[in-house]
Amino acid sequence: MEFIQQNLLLVAVAVVSGTMLLVLSLPRSGGAKSLTAAQATMLINRENAQLIDIREPNEYVGGHPSEARNIPAGSLAARAGELEALKDQPIILLCQSGARSSDACSTLTKLGFSRVHTLAGGIAGWSEAGLPLKKGARK
């Protein structure tokens, strides 16, 4: 007890850092599962997972996976009807870094989509894994 009283600042830093590690290691809300680029590729190949790029159109044309469909995050709820046929199929949401896609996963989960995933690291992670990106709009 005397150690804690004499080193209050040190103990406080340890408690705060431990709490931060615990909070960051908990899964995000919405039931979204984060996938690495390798896991995403396996899901695409084995279960025909659909890639949905939720970045804005100007970001999308700068580089995207060849089979990715662009539905910006701001209009995802309004355009969810376009994805109705995919409600029980795996969907992988992509953004630039993975932050926006986590929120978008929550949106789709609330709309009844059961197998929604986010790509860890987003397009940057996809590119770092050496996977190809196509420039321009999808035809």
The predicted structure's pLDDT at residue 123: 92
Whole-number Å distance between alpha carbons of 61 and 133: 10
Burial class (CB in 10 A: 0-12, 13-18, 19+), 92: buried
Whole-number Å distance between alpha carbons of 82 and 71: 10
DSSP character at residue 35: E
Q: What are phi and psi of 91, to 5 degrees?
A: -125, 135
CB proximity list for 87: less than 8 A, separation 6 or greater:
112, 113, 114
pTM over 0.85? The answer is no
Strand partners, 33: 117
Q: Say if 11 falls within a structural domain.
A: no
Q: Say if 13 falls within a structural domain.
A: no
Number of domains in the chain: 1
Q: Is the pLDDT of residue 11 over 60?
A: yes
Give the CATH number of the domain where residue 115 resides.
3.40.250.10
The predicted structure's pLDDT at residue 22: 81
pLDDT in tens, 93-130: 999 888 888 889 989 999 999 899 999 989 999 999 99
Domain that holds residue 89: 29-128
Per the CB < 8 A criterion, the answer to whether 94 and 78 are in contact is: no
Q: Say if 45 falls within a structural domain.
A: yes
Q: Say if 9 falls within a structural domain.
A: no
Joined tokens for residue 135:
């420039």
Whole-number Å distance between alpha carbons of 75 and 7: 52
pLDDT in tens, 41-97: 999 999 999 999 999 999 999 999 988 999 999 999 999 899 998 888 999 999 988
Q: Is the pLDDT of residue 26 over 80?
A: no
Q: Which residues are catalytic?
A: 95
The predicted structure's pLDDT at residue 30: 44
